[in-house]
Structure 1
Amino acid sequence: MSVPVVLFTSDLRLHDHPPLRAALSGADEVLPLFVRDLAIERTGFAVPNRAAFLADCLAGLDAGLRERGGRLVVRTGDVVEEVCRAVTEAGSDEVHLSAAPSAYGHRREQRLHDALERQGCRLFVHDGVAHAVAPGEVTPASSDHFAVFTPYFRRWSQCALRAPSPAPREVRVPEGIGSEALPDRAKVAGTSPGLARGGEQEGRARLAAWLRDGVEAYEERHDDLAGDATSRLSPHLHFGTLSPVECVQRARRRGGAGADAFVRQLAWRDFHHQVLAARPQAATADYRDRHDRWRGAAARDDIDAWKEGRTGYPIVDAAMRQLAHEGWMHNRGRLLAASFLAKSLYVDWRVGARHFMDLLVDGDVANNQLNWQWVAGTGTDTRPNRVLNPLRQAHRYDPEGAYVRRWVPELRDVEGASVHEPWKLPGLERAGVDYPEPIVGLPEALERFQRARSNV
């Protein structure tokens, strides 16, 4: 009997895994395969934080398979060549994998299809593994994708989701198929000190705790920077250690305003993926061209200050320092930091998106790039010229300054909301505080942005 190959990509779990389930339905043995794709590493996407989290995920996947009598086979190289080699070694006549929304994912699927067809092997691409609602499943009458979230969400909410499947009880893998050693998180240099642990077991435990103790207050507290009241599930969704379908179904069963708000955020994730699937060039090009003439070399010092968390605006700097320390940032912090760079400093959103991708453990091309474009006004935002005032945002979402004091320790002795405007402190209170003056005045920044947009 043929041994199907299951190619794991960004779906590193055993629960609710349609490709694995399909492969097991007609075979006694399967070959679970993960390829460390050199093409991805050459793009610079395999940065330390994601490489370390990936190592955790692969270790967890291998452990789960071994508990069921199997193991994970790991190879390094060109993904098509390595899959074809595994097919030959196992005597396979079918390969299963999850659909991907990115241009690279589509090219990979086409290359695999062509190469496997020459070997007499069929490729099965499964939708709805990395999304609750797959890209292209819902479309407006006049286009291939929704460009505005609200009508998309109405249609998305009406979709019937499949029932999540349990993890298989047994996974038998043929003997004699060689594998490289699993990557080791401890050997990855340059990771953020506070980087979270990865893996399906960790993700499922976090989801259970979130639905039990956190989601009820999510509607009221999701923007509370100091309260840290978000799920922190985004890295697990990115690497696929959690099923989006299962997250939606379990949140809906939990019910309530908080669960509804959480489900809405999962829909935003699907929304961005369906935009990128239809417009893959949006990963690097403006979705809606505003003809911006972004600041170039003259902004170099401002860009460095932004990256280092030394802009002189404590709420922005706190967010950037959280990113550096954890490889993750609160969503409200992401909006503030992005708006400050793209609009207050008038720097090309791609500069910020690249820096985020260099550090974010949940660095997802669709969500990162399209959220940056939303903030920059070149994406799907229906108010492209909105500017988030960091001081107003700070007083609203960190009213007592606890988030700032946590991440900007040189201001830890400044009490209350005064921490958001340290330049206003009396001289004696400012003495000995090693914190910079604001790199730009907000009225000046707003005028520069408005003038730039009005002149295009």
Structure 2
Amino acid sequence: MRTAIVLFTRDLRLHDNPALSAACGAAERVVPLFVFDPALAGRSSNRDRFLHQSVADLRGLLRARDSDLVVRTGDPVASTVELAREVGAEGVAVAADVSHYARRRERRLGASGLDVRLFPGLTIVEPGALRPGGGDHYRVFSPYHRSWIAAKWRDPVGLPKKVPLPSGVQVGRLPAQPDGESPDTVPGGESAARERLRGWLGNVETYEDGHNDLAGDRTSRLSPYLRFGCLSPLEVAHAALGRPAADPFVRQLCWRDFYYQVAYAFPQISSRAYRRGATESWTDDPAAFERWTSGSTGVPIVDAGMHQLRREGWMHNRARLVTASYLTKDLGVDWRRGLAWFYRWLLDGDVPNNSGNWQWVAGTGNDTRPYRRFNPERQRERYDPDSSYVERYA
């Protein structure tokens, strides 16, 4: 093949990028492309800002390798087809995804007449690769985890030696970076992601003992970088497994894969109850919901979590469980409203994990104990006994 386009979507990195690696190995010339899609913009100004930072970083990394990133704004399929005509590209490489929107984009690309190849990279094990006997996907985590651990993972691919961009391509300007709503967010991009990963690996052995310590903040905070593909989850898993006592952290990466395979099999995960026979009877209480969103419920650990969400565009996982449980189990508010609020603010907000975890807490999802409730005061006593977290985000 003479010329191929690599359409970046949620794989904004050079390391362990199978689509980029395959294109560089098969084509004489490679055109890296990112399309800012107006249909996906405006859902979260925090994520919009993080995305712009990540794309700018990707362009800088490509330029450092004597290449560049072509940037367009518009419909990604139409933009890809138009660019293919301009550069004479015969094929397009793109990372496979699981959301309804992404799969529709893949189908449209496939119908464009171009040779479209889908590649892994957003998860460690591909969403449809592991199936239980008699089913299309795993509905319970523990058996999925056993199958996931036993599965043969693909080998990470190395950095391409070169990304030979054709001469004369109009690369386009980056749009102005949005402001975002949260003042204390982490910066986007593979460069920042790899720096954070290097720092985290030195502490991964403390994860099991410390990941529920709200004030200690001893989690990796890598989730935004995994959500945008600034890091390869496979590379993160391999790097962690080379350290002592890393299994509990790697198990969390398995949870991420678990929800991707659920969303792949159940695309309505953001709107419909996943659990068969789930009873949904929700209270319409706008005032209670407003107190929850503003962090003024009067329940200290709940309010602290909601303040952290607004301030950082991120929330400690234990606080996510507590705040979501309080909304659905104490206030009786529909989980879809909480999901939408989190989706507005979270840098790591995505369809599989945001929706899957909300359904798990609400009792409509994969939890084998659907009536589970997280008592806020007991959670504070156990995981923030001196109220340091509560005071930090008061």
Bin of the TM-score, shorter chain as denominator length: over 0.9
1:405 aligns with 2:391: yes
1:224 aligns with 2:216: no
Write the letter of the residue equivalent to 1:367: N
1:98 aligns with 2:95: yes
Per-residue CA deviations over 1:153-210 (Å, capped at 9, x if unaligned) read 000001122222222232121122223311343xx13420101111101101111110
1:84 aligns with 2:81: yes
The structure having more radius of gyration, on CA atoms, is 1
Write the letter of the residue equivalent to 1:138: L
Per-residue CA deviations over 1:220-254 (Å, capped at 9, x if unaligned) read 01000000000000000000010011011111111
CA distance in 1: counterparts of 2:225 and 2:161, whole angstroms: 22
Per-residue CA deviations over 1:122-175 (Å, capped at 9, x if unaligned) read 000012x00000101100011100000000000000112222222223212112
1:74 aligns with 2:71: yes
- 1:211 aligned partner: 201
1:109 aligns with 2:99: no
1:343 aligns with 2:333: no
CA distance in 2: counterparts of 1:26 and 1:316, whole angstroms: 53
Equivalent pair of 2:35/2:74 in contact (CA under 8 Å): yes
CA distance in 2: counterparts of 1:8 and 1:344, whole angstroms: 42
Gaps spanning 5+ residues in structure 2: where?
A: none
CA distance in 1: counterparts of 2:280 and 2:136, whole angstroms: 27
- 1:294 aligned partner: 282
- TM-score by length of structure 1 reads 0.85
Per-residue CA deviations over 1:21-40 (Å, capped at 9, x if unaligned) read 11011223200000111222
Equivalent pair of 1:193/1:325 in contact (CA under 8 Å): yes
For these two proteins, the number of residue pairs brought into alignment is 393
How far 1:293 moved relative to its partner? 1.8
1:354 aligns with 2:340: yes
- 2:139 aligned partner: 147
User: Which is richer in helix?
Assistant: 1
CA distance in 2: counterparts of 1:28 and 1:292, whole angstroms: 56
- 2:362 aligned partner: 376
Indicate the SS of the match to 2:279.
Answer: coil
Gaps spanning 5+ residues in structure 1: where?
A: 409-456
- TM-score by length of structure 2 reads 0.98
Indicate the SS of the match to 1:152.
Answer: helix
- 1:412 aligned partner: none
Write the letter of the residue equivalent to 1:335: L
Indicate the SS of the match to 1:6.
Answer: strand
- 1:450 aligned partner: none
Write the letter of the residue equivalent to 1:267: C
CA distance in 2: counterparts of 1:265 and 1:336, whole angstroms: 18
- 1:240 aligned partner: 229
Write the letter of the residue equivalent to 1:108: R
- 2:37 aligned partner: 37
- 2:163 aligned partner: 171
- 1:262 aligned partner: 249
Structure scoring higher RCO (CA < 8 A, sep ≥ 6) equals 2
Change (3 A) 1:190 1:25: closer
Indicate the SS of the match to 2:173.
Answer: coil
How far 1:329 moved relative to its partner? 0.3
CA distance in 2: counterparts of 1:189 and 1:229, whole angstroms: 28
CA distance in 2: counterparts of 1:405 and 1:69, whole angstroms: 49
Equivalent pair of 1:52/1:191 in contact (CA under 8 Å): no
- 1:327 aligned partner: 313
- 1:443 aligned partner: none
Write the letter of the residue equivalent to 1:222: H
CA distance in 2: counterparts of 1:172 and 1:230, whole angstroms: 39
- 2:265 aligned partner: 278
Indicate the SS of the match to 1:30.
Answer: strand
Equivalent pair of 1:13/1:61 in contact (CA under 8 Å): yes
CA distance in 2: counterparts of 1:162 and 1:292, whole angstroms: 41
Indicate the SS of the match to 1:283.
Answer: coil
Quote the sequence identity (%).
49
- 1:250 aligned partner: 239
